[in-house]
Chain A
Amino acid sequence: MTLRNTTTRWGGVSQFLHWLIVALILTQVILANIAMDLPIGVRKLAMFARHKSVGLTILALAAIRLLWRWTNPTPPLPNTLKPYERTLAQVTHAALYLLLFAMPLTGWMMTSARGFPVSWFNLFQLPDLVPRNQELYEAMKETHHALAYTLGAVVFLHVAAALKHHFVLRDDVLRRMLPTARKPG
């Protein structure tokens, strides 16, 4: 496996970023749910602080991933796809990239509007994206939550499609995002 993408499969860097972001998003869901259930106190504060740090990490990784995608070949979708399936795949992928930015950014705006500046793992402080504003905080909170459910739905579609390619269509779409992929057939 090469580090760069080829015209037939994803390279090591793309695969690493894809699966690292998958792991971090799962971490985010867990941290957010633990934090929301805790009573106000140090533990809640700590859980949300970790959630914010991981979110900032995803934001940075999303930017790197997009740059990498733009400077690398993209393995094309299989020719067997119907036009609507091709459009659906493109829309789903675009939505995933969009959400990789929108989720952290709305979260960051939410905490800034609330008046809680963020740091990255207690190492350095980041600037506030917006000034303190209660109404903006409420709006960003609703948006952040709505986007989280949207992300869940799009991920479901993405995973369902990948599994269909692998088990029903028996093509290499899933395997080309896996390190041990072999040529089909």
Chain B
Amino acid sequence: MSPSTSALLRTAVLAVGVLQAALAAEPGAATHYTLDPAKSTLEFQFIQAGAQNKGHFGKFTVALDLPADNAAGGKLEVVVEMSSLDTGDKDRDDTLRGSDLFDVAKNPQARFASTQITRTAGGYDAVGKLTIRGTTRDQHVAFTFRTTQEQGKTVGYLAGKTTLKRLDFGVGQGDWKSTEWVGNDVTVSYSLRLVSAPH
């Protein structure tokens, strides 16, 4: 092998190496995450008879695509199994599952699917379609997101809260339409551990 050939080969090897490194850090390369249910919570808070009450959902799934440098190319999808709600009181839970409130027999799932994610001063804002009790409305979901490496895997922590009005989704028929004893505002808080997964 002549010296010039050897130099050319070395350059080529170097070029491939640089290209590989560049690809790995390519802006816009989506990172796909799925939920770690054991270390994630989805809670809701509401006013009942003038006092703060809260509950949580036990079963829900989250899929997030969030390219490092291109939030607009991201997507957040959440599906909540409504019958998994738990406010710590069986009578209240059964009432919430009933036809006047979440009507889980006809609408077993609530869904959020983002149409656009934008960066904000504090983190991200996902705007999208939220469907509860069969009614779909535009909803902003603000969240913070940070990633770490845990045992060689990329792990993301997503947290935040958003407030919605239950009556916008028909959650409250008959007597429950009144907001005197159960407030219209419901604050949904989320603290999720997401693990990177192959797309």
Q: Which residues of A contact B182 (CB under 8 A)?
A: 42, 45
Please name 8 pairs of A and B residues whose Cβ atoms are closer than 8 Å in the assembled complex, sorted by A: A41-B95, A41-B175, A41-B176, A42-B181, A116-B51, A116-B89, A122-B50, A125-B52
**Chain B contact residues, CB within 8 Å of chain A:** 48-53, 87-89, 91, 95, 175-176, 178, 180-182
Q: Which residues of A contact B52 (CB under 8 A)?
A: 117, 125
A45–B181 CB distance below 8 A = yes
Q: Which residues of B contact A67 (CB under 8 A)?
A: none
Q: Which residues of B contact A46 (CB under 8 A)?
A: 49, 180-181
Q: Which residues of B contact A125 (CB under 8 A)?
A: 50-52
Query: What's the least CB distance linking B90 to chain A, in Å?
Result: 10
Q: How far is the CA of A26 from the CA of B148 in the complex (A)?
A: 62
Query: What's the least CB distance linking B59 to chain A, in Å?
Result: 21
Interface assignment of A40: CB less than 8 Å from any CB of chain B = yes
Q: Mark A52-72, 1 if CB is under 8 A from B, else 0.
A: 100000000000000000000
Checking B49, B89, B175, B178 against A119 with a beta-carbon cut-off of 8 angstroms, the contacting residue is: B49
Interface assignment of A49: CB less than 8 Å from any CB of chain B = yes
Given A42-B176, A123-B50, A125-B51, decide whether A49 and B95 contact each other with a Cβ distance below 8 A. no
Interface assignment of A121: CB less than 8 Å from any CB of chain B = yes
Q: How far is the CA of A147 from the CA of B43 in the complex (A)?
A: 37
A42–B178 CB distance below 8 A = yes
Q: How many A-B residue pairs have CB under 8 A?
A: 53
With both beta carbons as reference points, the residue of chain A lying nearest to B178 in the complex is identified as A42
Q: Which residues of B contact A132 (CB under 8 A)?
A: 88
With both beta carbons as reference points, the residue of chain B lying nearest to A121 in the complex is identified as B50
Checking A43, A114, A122 against B49 with a beta-carbon cut-off of 8 angstroms, the contacting residue is: A122
B175–A117 CB distance below 8 A = no
With both beta carbons as reference points, the residue of chain B lying nearest to A50 in the complex is identified as B49
Q: Which residues of A contact B91 (CB under 8 A)?
A: 40
With both beta carbons as reference points, the residue of chain A lying nearest to B89 in the complex is identified as A115
Q: Mark A109-142, 1 if CB is under 8 A from B, else 0.
A: 0000011111111111110000010000000000
Q: How far is the CA of A150 from the CA of B88 in the complex (A)?
A: 31
A45–B88 CB distance below 8 A = no
Q: Which residues of B contact A126 (CB under 8 A)?
A: 51
Checking B89, B176, B181 against A114 with a beta-carbon cut-off of 8 angstroms, the contacting residue is: B89
- The 7 A-B residue pairs whose C-beta atoms are closest, nearest first, are A119-B50, A122-B50, A49-B49, A117-B51, A42-B175, A115-B88, A125-B51
- Most A-side CB within 10 Å, residue of B51, B91, B181, B182: B51
Q: Which residues of B contact A119 (CB under 8 A)?
A: 49-51
Q: How far is the CA of A11 from the CA of B87 in the complex (A)?
A: 49
Q: Which residues of B contact A120 (CB under 8 A)?
A: 50
Q: Mark A21-49, 1 if CB is under 8 A from B, else 0.
A: 00000000000000000001111011011
